[in-house]
Amino acid sequence: MKYSNPEVYISAVDIQNKIAELGRRISEDYKDGELTVVSISNGAMLFTADLVRAVTIPMHLDSIMISSYAGTESSGNISLRSEFKLDLSGKDVLIVDEILDSGNTLFYTRRKLLEQNPASLKICVLLNKQERRKVDVNADYVGFEIPDLFVIGYGMDYKEYFRNLPYIGIYKS
């Protein structure tokens, strides 16, 4: 199947500038300790990689494969395909995801992590679509607020395509 690349919605430069800002804020907030970062699924890989390089404090990194998407819509059904590897008890934990949309995935992930009794638990997302929220979950660190658009690139996909774009575009079928 052949797809053409979408127009730029958020440029690669704007993304990197925002990540540098988030890295400074996170480093300052956790300057007296260390952090455990938990990255969500394939979509957050690029964002997490750039974010952890922008954070200047000691940290551990874990990832989990979880999803609630089917095509372009959140299905509401959570699919957990891996378990947490690190012991999070008593740790300061930061969940990193590329987008907070319906909130289903992050709500579920937050609940699962709280079962491990972390000292603190916060959420960092590159994109926040507040108007699509279906459950009570909010991010502590947000890169960009966006309207209800289906975005791709910089880790986000349509049928596994477009993850490798260095920018964020709007998908139009």
Annotated active-site positions, please?
101
62 class by beta-carbon count within 10 Å (0-12 exposed, 13-18 middle, 19+ buried): middle
The DSSP element (H or E) to which 147 belongs, if any, is: none
Cα diameter, the chain: 50
Helix 45-54 vs helix 12-29: crossing angle, to nearest 10: 50
Q: In the chain, what is the straight-line distance between the N-terminal and C-terminal CA atoms, in Å?
A: 13
